[in-house]
Amino acid sequence: MKTFSYEIKDAIGIHARPAGLLAKEAKKYESKIVIKKEGKSAEATKLMAIMGMGVKCGNVVDVEIEGADEEKAYEDIKAFFEANL
């Protein structure tokens, strides 16, 4: 399992557009990608679950990646967060 923490820098937080992009990106991998914040968690492939977490600017989320292609997924998802969130 690979993990990283990330502080959200998008002024609006994880709203519909970036959540949709994240779900689309996460679906490219076999690995299970889970986002966690303050006891809540959501699979990154589930748009409504991500939005339901209410992640705001300045919140820190933990991302867990586990599966057959976790190395590639880790690198790509981390880069996605840095570029989009």
Residue count (the chain):
85
Residue 71 is among the residues annotated as catalytic for this protein: no
Asked if 36 and 62 touch (Cβ cutoff 8 Å), the reply is: yes
From the candidates 2, 6, 10, 15, which is the catalytic residue? 15
Tokens read off for 1: 């399992």
Q: Which residues are catalytic?
A: 15
